[in-house]
Amino acid sequence: MANEFAKMRHLRMGLIASVMVVIVTGLSVAGAATSPAFAVPSGRSWEALLGGMSLAVPLASPLLLAVLASRQVDIEHQGNGWLLSQTSGVTPGGLCRIKLLAVGIVVAVVTILESVLVLVAGLLLGVPDRVPAGLWAGYTASVLVANLVVLALHVLLSARIDNQLVGLGIGVLGTIVAVFATALPPAMAHLTPWGYYALVAAAGYQGTQLVALTPAYGSIAALGAVAAVLFVIVTGRFDRREA
Amino acid sequence: MSYIVATEQLSKRYGSRTVVDSLNLRIPAGCVYGFLGPNGSGKSTTMKMLLSLVRPSSGEVQVMGQPMNRGTRRRLLGHIGSLIESPPGYGHLTGRENIRLVQRLLDLRDEQIDQAVRTVRMQDQLDKKVRDYSLGMKQRLGIAMALARQPRLLILDEPTNGLDPAGIEEIRDLLRRLSDGGVTVMVSSHLLGEIDKTATVLGILSGGRLIFQGTRDELFAASTPDVLIDTPHPEYANTQLKGMVASRLDHGAVRVSGIGDQTTARVVAHLVGAGVDIYGVRRDEQSLEDVFMDLTGGGGL
C-alpha cells in the first residue's frame, strides 16, 4: 500500500483530487447561495445545499474518478510494472486490489471533504435551521459507495485495456448518464453504476418545490455488495492470467 | 552435479501450436547459462515458465530443488532475480524512488539496495527520472532491481537488446562479476556472439526444442566440420562423388559435408581408385557461429 502512495508522486493525483473538491464544493455552494430563499428561516437552505451537491457530484465525479484510476494504473503498462510485481510475488489481481485500496482512500478523503466543506459553508453563510445531520451523513456515505464502485470499475478497465482513452471515454459517458439519470425511471437508473448518483440524491425538485429526499440506501448497499463480489471475482481472474 | 534449475519434459501449447516442446533443461549452480535461439524459438516462454508467470501445458519445473508452482512461487521468487521483456521502471519517478519501491515490496535492507546499485554502477544516476534514462541505464536499473534481493538465480531475457557495443560489453562484464560472486545467471539471446564469451554452459533452442545443451567445447564436438579435398581436378572429383556423399566445389577444392572419419577414408579411396590425384584432405575450421547456424538451420539469425 505504501508503494501505491509512493507511485502517486509526480502523477498530480493531489491536484486532480483537489479539482474534484473545488468543483463539487463550489457548484454546490454557489448554486444554493444564489437562491433567494437561502439563509432565510425555514427557507430550505440545507435542502438547497444538498440539492446542489446532488447535482455537482454526478457532474464532477465520473470523469475525475476515471482520470484518477487511469493515472494510477497506466504507469504499470508504461513501466512494465505488472511483470515487476509478479516476479516479486504480487499478482496482477492483487496489484489491482491494492490500487483500489490506495486510490479509494484518496477518494474517501475527497468525498468526506466535499461534504464537510459544503456543510461548513452553510454554517458560515448563516443558515439558521438545524443541520439535518442524519441525512447529510447518509448522503455522504451513499456517494462514497457510488464513487468507490465507479473507481473500481475504472481500475479494472484501465488494467484490462492498455489504451487509457477507452477508460476516459467511458468516464465521459458515465458523466452523461449520471447527470441525466435523475430524469430516468428509477428502474433504469439501477442499471449502471452512474445511475446510482441520482438514486442517492438527498434533495431535489418535485415540481417547483425543493424537497429533501431519502437516498435509496437499500439500492446503494446492494450495489456496494455486488460490486465488491464482482471486483474480487474479476481480479481473481486477473491472477490466473498468464504474462 | 547440482542443478539450480531442472525441467522435465516441459511443454507449452497454445491451441494446436506447440511453443515449447519437451524441454529438459539442466542449469548447473554457479554457471552463466547462455540460452540461445532464433527469435520466436520459445526462449521467453520458457523463462516465463521457470518464473511461474506462464503455466506449463505439461512437464515440471524444479528450481533450487523444489517444484515451481503457484503454491511455492512467492517463496522461490524471493531468491530469483529476473528481467523479462523490457526493463521495468516507472518513468515519472527517479531511479532512487523506483528502487525504493522494490525495497518496500521485498522488505529489503538499505545495504542490499546500495550493493545492487553499486554492482551496476548506477549510484550517480539515481536522482534522474527514469524517463530521462538511456536504454542502457534502464537495463542496468532493471538489473539492480533484480539483484537487490541478492538472488541465487538471475534470469535475464535478452538484456543486451538495443544496446550499443559498449553497453553490451558492460553487461557481459557484469554477468562475469555476478557469476564470480556465486550467482547463477541464465541469459537469453538470439545472437551467439553476444553471450558466447560469457556463457560457460549453452542451451540452444530451435522451434521450441532443445537441440543442444552443454559446454562450448561440447558444442564444437557435436557438429562435424566439412571435409575439404584439394586436387588439381576438382570438377572431375566432384562428379565421381555424386550419389555417394553430399559434395560441392569450393574455391578450387571439393567440400564434403556431414561425413565421419571412416566415410572420409572411403571417399579418398574411391577418388584414388578413379584416378584423381589428391594433394590434401583436411577438416574445415568452424567458428562457433557456424556450428550454431548448422544446428538451428540458420533460423533467422
Q: For B41-58, what is each residue's pLDDT tens digit? A: 899 999 999 999 999 999
Mean pLDDT of chain A: 92
- Could you tell me which of A148, A196, A159, A194 has the C-alpha nearest to residue A173? A194
For residue range B237-279, what is the model confidence (pLDDT) as tens digits? 999 998 888 899 988 899 998 888 889 999 999 999 999 999 9
Average pLDDT value for residue range B155-167? 83
Which positions in chain B touch A2 (Cβ < 8 Å)? 104
| Residue A42 confidence (pLDDT) | 67
| Residue B254 confidence (pLDDT) | 93
pLDDT reading at B210 higher than 70:
yes
Check whether domain B225-285 has CATH 3.30.70, yes or no: yes
Min CA distance, B65 vs chain A (Å)? 19
| Residue B257 confidence (pLDDT) | 85
| Segments making up each domain of chain B, as ranges | 3-221, 225-285
Q: Which CATH superfamily is domain B3-221 in?
A: P-loop containing nucleotide triphosphate hydrolases (3.40.50.300)
| Nearest CB to A78 within list B48, B87, B91 | B91
pLDDT reading at B299 higher than 60:
no
Share of chain A above pLDDT 70, in %: 98
Q: Which three cell numbers stand for residue B270?
A: 574411391
Kindly report the number of other CB atoms within 10 A of residue A190's CB atom.
18
Which positions in chain A touch B73 (Cβ < 8 Å)? 89
pLDDT reading at B300 higher than 70:
no
Query: What residues 73-92 of chain B have any CB closer than 8 A to a CB of chain A?
Result: 73-74, 77-78, 80, 82, 84-92
| Nearest CB to B104 within list A2, A79, A243 | A2
Min CA distance, B11 vs chain A (Å)? 15
Min CA distance, A188 vs chain B (Å)? 42
Which positions in chain B touch A84 (Cβ < 8 Å)? 88, 102, 145
pLDDT reading at B221 higher than 80:
no
Min CA distance, A86 vs chain B (Å)? 7
Contact B78 A11 (CB under 8 A): no
For residue range A159-204, what is the model confidence (pLDDT) as tens digits? 999 999 999 999 999 999 999 988 888 889 999 999 999 999 988 8
Contact B78 A89 (CB under 8 A): yes
- This model of the complex carries an ipTM of 0.86
pLDDT reading at A15 higher than 50:
yes
- Tell how far CA A233 is from the center of its chain: 22
Average pLDDT value for residue range B83-101? 93
Supply φ then ψ for residue B35, to 5 degrees: -105, 105
| Residue B298 confidence (pLDDT) | 59
| Residue B136 confidence (pLDDT) | 85
Question: Which residues of A have a CB under 8 Å from any CB of B?
Answer: 2-3, 6-7, 9-11, 75, 78-81, 83-90, 242-243
For residue range A56-65, what is the model confidence (pLDDT) as tens digits? 999 999 999 9
| Residue A13 confidence (pLDDT) | 94
Q: Which three cell numbers stand for residue A51?
A: 440539492
* Dist CA B260 CA B281 (whole Å): 13
| Residue B301 confidence (pLDDT) | 38
* Dist CA B75 CA A88 (whole Å): 10
Distance in Å from the first CA to the final CA of chain A: 23
Q: Regarding beta strands A209-212 and B3-14, do their DSSP bridges make them parallel or antiparallel, or are they unpaired?
A: unpaired
At A206, is the secondary structure helix, strand, or coil? strand
* Dist CA B63 CA B183 (whole Å): 14
